[in-house]
Amino acid sequence: MHDKTPALSAALADAAGKAAILAEALPYMRRYAGRTILVKYGGAAMGDASLASDFAHDVVLLKQVGINPIVVHGGGPQIGQMLERLKIASAFIDGLRVTDRATVEIVEMVLSGSINKQLAAAINRAGGTAIGLSGKDGGLIHARKLERRRRDPESNIEKVLDLGFVGEVERVNATMLETFARSDIIPVIAPIGVGAGGETYNINADTAAGAIAAAVRATRFLLLTDVAGVLDREKRFLAELSAGEARAMIGDGTVSGGMIPKVETCLEAVDGGVEAAVILDGRMPHAILLELFTEGAGTLIRGAPQARGVT
The footprint of Mg ion (CB under 5 A) covers: 258
75 lies in the binding site for ligand ADP (CB under 6 A): no
Residues in contact with ligand ADP, counted by CB under 6 A, come to a total of 14
Does residue 242 interact with ligand ADP by CB under 6 A?
no
The one of Mg ion, ligand ADP, none whose footprint includes residue 211, by CB under 5 to 8 A per kind, is none
Q: Which is nearer to ligand ADP, 102 or 231 (CB)?
A: 231
Of positions 42, 187, 193, 296, contacts ligand ADP by CB under 6 A: 42
Least Å distance, CB 155 to ligand ADP, is 30
In this chain, which of 80, 258, 272, 303 binds ligand ADP, going by CB under 6 A? 258
Segment near ligand ADP (CB under 6 A); pick from 21-29, 87-95, 135-143, 226-234? 226-234
Using alpha carbons, list the distances in angstroms from residue 225 to 3, 39, 253, 268.
48, 11, 19, 19
Query: In degrees, to the nearest 5, what angle opens at C-alpha 163 toward C-alphas 160 and 169?
Result: 95
Return the ∠ at Cα 295 (arms to 20 and 39), rounded to 5°.
110
Q: Residue 220 in contact with residue 278, Cβ under 8 Å?
A: yes
Q: Measured between alpha carbons, how far apart are the two ends of the chain, in Å? A: 46
* Percent helix, percent strand, percent coil in the chain, to nearest 5: 45, 25, 35
- Classify the phi-psi angles of 28: left when phi > 0, otherwise alpha if psi is within -120 to 50, otherwise beta: alpha
- Residue (61 or 224) nearer to Mg ion, CB: 224
119 near ligand ADP (CB under 6 A): no
The candidate with the shortest Cα–Cα distance to 116, out of 35, 208, 229, is 208
Q: Is 231 in the site for ligand ADP (CB under 6 A)?
A: yes
Considering the complex, state which of residue 85 and residue 233 has its C-beta at the smaller distance from ligand ADP.
Answer: 233
Residue 195 vs 258, nearer CB to ligand ADP: 258
Cα–Cα distances in angstroms (integers) from residue 130 to residues 56, 209, 213, in the given order? 10, 17, 18
Q: For residues 130 and 228, which CB has a smaller minimum distance to ligand ADP in the complex? A: 228
Amino acid letter at 45? A
Q: Considering the complex, what minimum distance in angstroms separates the CB of residue 257 from Mg ion?
A: 8
Binding site for ligand ADP (CB under 6 A): 42-43, 74, 225-227, 230-231, 254-259
